[in-house]
Structure 1
Amino acid sequence: MSNIVSVSSTEDLAFAKALHGKDVKTGFLANLISKNKDVHGTATDDYLSHWKNPDADTEEDAAKRLGNYTRLTNTYYNLATDFYEYGWGTSFHFSRFYKGEEFFRSIARHEHYLAAQMQLGPNMRVLDVGCGVGGPAREIAHFSGAHITGFNNNDYQLSRAAVYAQREGLENQTVWTKGNFMEMPFEDATYDAVYAIEATVHAPKFEGVYSEIFRVLKPGGIFGCYEWCMTEKFDESDPEHHRIAHGIEIGNGIPKMRKTSVAIQALKNVGFEVVRSQDLADVGDEVKWYYPLEGDFRKAQSMRDIVTMSVMSGIGRWTTTQMCRVLEAVGLAPKGSVEVQKFLETAADALVEGGQKELFTPMFFFLARKPLA
């Protein structure tokens, strides 16, 4: 794992090792059982302390989360990463579905589409902002031939990303860097292109992360993104809308959801030229992006899809909760495992409802260019 570049605080790294251990393990149960139970319980309590019931949650509470976004997001992914990999694989994002298209093929196509639209290719230095465990970075590296720097604020995810990249022979085509995307540890005009897949929503303000992306891009470089946004139909003053947004926030470690128009204005505010923008969740697809969470098995295209949906659907999520409950009760799973699964269930329900009511999109797609001068 020599291709990890860390600007991590000693405290972050020590916490990650205390919670997860030093070795990268595979398999949901192996990872869950190996956690330090006391540290996991403390992390769960810390995360949940940021949230209240949606009826009681105030703008002041949201402001506190925004001010503490680094810790909030880092704690969330320390708790949720193993559950993500168990249910979703190593590419933590949604995708469009063609009728007849298998789940993991759709996930890869979503990544290929972004790379193709950005015209990524060999000999390009590309930054992946919010890289997770590196699924998209590896796929795009294979697809485009570009050199990818995966950038993330979570030591646990980066350690896994490096191992997975090495297994695929990509250790010389990828590097993994720890840091805060509001204060990136890169020189000005370092990268030919930058992309972010469902990641920059964690920023306390779009301008903060977009301005850093603008800074590290070379003049003429492209920033491509799938952004999580509330649509223009969203009304913060509507209690039902607020409840859905709050469920998305608490279940995904997001300080505050924002509308698509806020993202576009933020790009312009920091100096980008917006080349293209489109909500890819609103293009009339017969099979909707949220169908795996919705649990409509009629839309599954293969036995592998059925297995995947069995984990991600409501029935599958309930089963996982009960499994965690039993393992936690007998002392095998760490304290807080059930609570983690419960807030992930909250997220899934809110995401589906937000999608069905056209209040939320996980794929507000845009290309933005840094001017040559």
Structure 2
Amino acid sequence: MSSSAAAPLNDGRVQDRIENYSQFWKKDLQKEEDKDNKNRLDQYTDVVNGYYDGATGLYEYAWSQSFHFSRFYKGEAFLASLARHEHYLASQMCLRPGLRVLDVGCGVGGPAREIAQFSDAEIVGLNNNDYQIHRARKYTQKMGLQNQVTFVKGDFMKLSEQFGENSFDAVYAIEATVHAPSFEGVYGEIFKVLKPGGVFGVYEWVMTDDWDPSIPTHKELAHRIELGSGIPEMRPMSAARDALTSVGFTIEHQEDLADRPDAIPWYYPLEGDIRKAQTFWDYFTVWRMGKSGQFVSHNAMWLMEKVGLLPKGTYDVGESLKVAGEALVAGGQTKLFTPMYLVVSRKPKA
């Protein structure tokens, strides 16, 4: 499928991309071949956009406007945890007023708005998905932050072409650059648009150092995460580390935050066990992730798609999200996967 053959909807989504998303994977993931992986990497734009055209509304309904995970303190509300995770990255990067900051893969702008309010920096959100950009601008206008937080369409593999070199004081990415066809490619572009001495902070999705692709169950776990999360290829933590240094960054701090001995694991909302909800309002979030919540929402999606209220293919993307939820919990429990490999790197001044 090519983007040029796709049919646009009036809200920025593209019908063909949603319908064809699941065709990038074999239904039996054990039959995946190298050519399937190469096809996803070659067509990463269609893979990622097809996924988010179908999944964005589901993310907002079931999760929030911040499409990422976070650590939890005991008794901490879900939304408070997400905000703290964003604040932590901003503080590690020392973001402050007067800095021009690029958010790579900004989603619908939840983290950009939160970090802008927290740091008073100027945030530019980059996204290649028209539907998400439309929603991000609407939410930002509603909050009165449109003069501080702006959104542009672009490919994070072509940042220097769009913005020019040495354009930003800081760049961050929250669980977004995993969608790139290569870490070297996207990190290299981030390096170019940073001013000398500029800082790059990232929460990266990676398989941990315990993951071994030669073990069939390990490899299948990575494939399930890919299918359910719109990721062309999951890579090991070492690949992110090596890519950062190979493109020229100096790593100042790195840590797998998921490896901290937290009493409440980062993946607990995905387990769907309402007994683990931290606050009263979190019961609703956790319920949506559980079997009864999924039964209600997924059958509602099926019906809405049949009567034309949702684009065709949305239900299939929703089914992929169920695969993702189970795989991410399994990855977290076995510590083979982390969504929060934190790396703070700097572009040398000379």
Q: For the superposition of Structure 1 and Structure 2, which TM-score range results when normalised by the shorter chain?
A: over 0.9
Q: Is the 8 Å Cα contact of residues 272 and 288 (structure 2) preserved in structure 1?
A: no
Q: Is the 8 Å Cα contact of residues 18 and 53 (structure 2) preserved in structure 1?
A: no
Deviates more, 1:325-334 or 1:267-276: 325-334
Cα deviation, residue 190, structure 1: 0.7
Number of the residue aligned with 2:273? 296
Q: Which of these residues, 294, 309, 312, is aligned with residue 335 of structure 1?
A: 312
Aligned equivalents of 2:309 and 2:101: distance in 1?
Answer: 41
Q: Which of these residues, 291, 298, 302, is aligned with residue 325 of structure 1?
A: 302
Number of the residue aligned with 1:32? none
1:19 equivalenced with 2:40 (yes/no): no
Aligned equivalents of 1:225 and 1:143: distance in 2?
Answer: 17
Cα shift readout 1:254-308 (whole Å, capped 9, x = no counterpart): 0100011110000000000000110000011110000000122222122210011
Residue-pair matches, total:
345
Number of the residue aligned with 2:126? 151
Aligned equivalents of 1:141 and 1:193: distance in 2?
Answer: 13
Residue aligned with 2:258, SS? coil
1:223 equivalenced with 2:200 (yes/no): yes
Number of the residue aligned with 1:28? none
Q: Is the 8 Å Cα contact of residues 273 and 287 (structure 2) preserved in structure 1?
A: no
Cα deviation, residue 175, structure 1: 1.4
Q: Is the 8 Å Cα contact of residues 293 and 314 (structure 1) preserved in structure 2?
A: no
Number of the residue aligned with 1:135? 110
Cα deviation, residue 70, structure 1: 1.3
Cα shift readout 1:115-161 (whole Å, capped 9, x = no counterpart): 01101011100000000000000000000000000001101101111
Cα deviation, residue 20, structure 1: 4.4
Aligned equivalents of 1:73 and 1:118: distance in 2?
Answer: 27
Q: Which of these residues, 39, 43, 53, is aligned with residue 17 of structure 2?
A: 43
The unaligned stretches of length 5 or more in structure 1 are 1-9, 23-34
1:54 equivalenced with 2:29 (yes/no): yes
Q: Which of these residues, 235, 239, 254, is aligned with residue 231 of structure 2?
A: 254
Cα deviation, residue 177, structure 1: 1.0
1:174 equivalenced with 2:164 (yes/no): no
Aligned equivalents of 1:263 and 1:318: distance in 2?
Answer: 37
Q: Is the 8 Å Cα contact of residues 21 and 317 (structure 2) preserved in structure 1?
A: no
Number of the residue aligned with 1:99? 74
Cα deviation, residue 89, structure 1: 1.1
**1:162–1:306 CA distance, 2 compared to 1 (3 A):** same
Aligned equivalents of 1:340 and 1:219: distance in 2?
Answer: 41
Aligned equivalents of 1:44 and 1:216: distance in 2?
Answer: 32
**1:265–1:339 CA distance, 2 compared to 1 (3 A):** same
Normalising by structure 2, report the TM-score. 0.95
1:241 equivalenced with 2:218 (yes/no): yes
Q: CA RMSD in A?
A: 1.7
Paired-residue identity, %: 54
Aligned equivalents of 2:330 and 2:110: distance in 1?
Answer: 27
- Counterpart amino acid of 2:138? V
- Counterpart amino acid of 1:327? M
Number of the residue aligned with 1:3? none
Q: Is the 8 Å Cα contact of residues 54 and 242 (structure 1) preserved in structure 2?
A: no
Q: Is the 8 Å Cα contact of residues 19 and 314 (structure 2) preserved in structure 1?
A: no
Aligned equivalents of 1:87 and 1:221: distance in 2?
Answer: 36
Number of the residue aligned with 1:199? 176
Normalising by structure 1, report the TM-score. 0.89
The unaligned stretches of length 5 or more in structure 2 are none
Deviates more, 1:328-337 or 1:347-356: 328-337
**1:144–1:50 CA distance, 2 compared to 1 (3 A):** same
Number of the residue aligned with 1:26? none
Cα deviation, residue 334, structure 1: 3.7
Number of the residue aligned with 1:360? 337
Number of the residue aligned with 2:140? 165
**1:20–1:351 CA distance, 2 compared to 1 (3 A):** farther
Cα shift readout 1:67-117 (whole Å, capped 9, x = no counterpart): 111121111111111111111110000000001101000000000000011
Cα deviation, residue 63, structure 1: 1.1
Number of the residue aligned with 1:29? none
Aligned equivalents of 2:80 and 2:339: distance in 1?
Answer: 18
Aligned equivalents of 1:339 and 1:314: distance in 2?
Answer: 17
Cα shift readout 1:300-321 (whole Å, capped 9, x = no counterpart): 1222100111112333222211
Aligned equivalents of 2:19 and 2:134: distance in 1?
Answer: 24
Cα deviation, residue 11, structure 1: 5.2
Q: Is the 8 Å Cα contact of residues 201 and 343 (structure 2) preserved in structure 1?
A: yes
